[in-house]
Amino acid sequence: MSGWGRIWDALPLLLSGAMTTIEITAGGFLIAVALGLLAGALLGARSRAVRAAARVYTDVFRAVPVLTQLFILYFGLVEVGVRLEPLQAAILGFGINGGAYLAEVFRAGLLSVHHGQTEAAQMLGMTRLAVLRIVVLPQAMRIVLPSLANYAIGLLKDSTLASAVAAPELMFLARKLVDRTFLGPQIYFSVAVIYLAMSLPLARLSRLAEARAGRGRR
């Protein structure tokens, strides 16, 4: 059987790695959005101490490479009695790192909403939290949607770094297959096709988000 014919035997394992890649991407994305939104809101807080704490988080985690953060979570926390599974370390690491980047995205989105709308809502008796949830956040989310879609695409590709902590994602399993079968060109070409199949829908989503945001601004 030719090398390309043997790829069919390896395909189920590659697809299982692709599912883990999607799991890492989705989990890391959700954590990054939650932390980014929180940090972005805190960067505009009235309290100087709160703003400083949010700034420390964003500056530190943007300055340290995500691979280093993954090593700290997976290997370093063991020294203090905390042992994370590879998948847990990968999702948490990408989430914490991504939140630091998305904080500025959300901050810009929140600031783009005209303050007059906030003042009008407060004059109607709405609390600051209600104003943020009902008035500001929906408009800010429409503005940051393109950036979030682009971040998701980047995160999908960066998920290959999870193989460094033995997370069984697509690239990790592909390398194991290459070591076992010596079908490097065939396996890596198949991996490229799988990544393309996962990335194209996100790229389409990004374009739709940009078009929607453009209509909203008009």
Neighbours of 169 (CB within 10 A): 26
**H-helix or E-strand spanning residue 100:** helix 86-112
Q: Average pLDDT, stretch 179-204? A: 91
pLDDT in tens, 168-177: 999 999 999 9
Q: Average pLDDT, stretch 195-201? A: 92
Residue spans per domain, the chain: 3-217
Question: In the predicted model, is pLDDT for residue 130 greater than 90?
Answer: no
Q: Average pLDDT, stretch 155-175? A: 94
Neighbours of 200 (CB within 10 A): 11
Cα–Cα dist 23/205, whole Å: 18
CA atoms within 13 A on the CB side of 175: 11
User: Given this structure, which CATH class describes domain 3-217?
Assistant: mainly alpha
Residue type, 181: T
Burial class for 61, CB neighbours closer than 10 Å (0-12, 13-18, 19+): buried
Q: How far is C-alpha 170 from the chain's CA centre? A: 17
Q: In the prediction, which pLDDT does 117 show?
A: 73
CA atoms within 13 A on the CB side of 188: 8
Cα–Cα dist 97/60, whole Å: 9
Question: In the predicted model, is pLDDT for residue 2 greater than 70?
Answer: no
Cα–Cα dist 218/207, whole Å: 17
Specify the range with the lowest mean pLDDT, choosing from 21-25, 121-125, 138-142, 166-170.
121-125
The pLDDT confidence band at residue 216, using thresholds 50, 70 and 90, is: low
